Amino acid sequence: MTAFWLTAGFSQGNIAWVENNLFLTLFMVSFTAFIPAIMGFVKQYKKKKEAIAHSITDMSLMVS
């Protein structure tokens, strides 16, 4: 994958930028592996948040 970024930088004439920001490009490439895990975490968080909101609504209806 690193070769992809270097090739893209070379073909676009930005090889100097890729070389100067190699840490950033490698970080972006390695971060893509965590995207499915982050998406799963966000979905779980939203489900949990909705469940809490529904339970609070149900409790307020029981009190009224």
Residue-wise pLDDT tens digits, 26-55: 777 777 788 888 899 999 999 988 888 777
CA contacts within 13 A on the Cβ side of 43: 6
Question: How much of the chain exceeds pLDDT 90, in percent?
Answer: 8
Neighbours of 25 (CB within 10 A): 20
| Type and span of the H or E element at 12 | helix 2-12
Task: Report pLDDT for 5.
Answer: 65
Give dist(CA 40, CA 16) in Å, integer: 36
Q: How far apart are CA 3 and CA 18, in angstroms?
A: 11
Task: Tally the residues of the chain.
Answer: 64
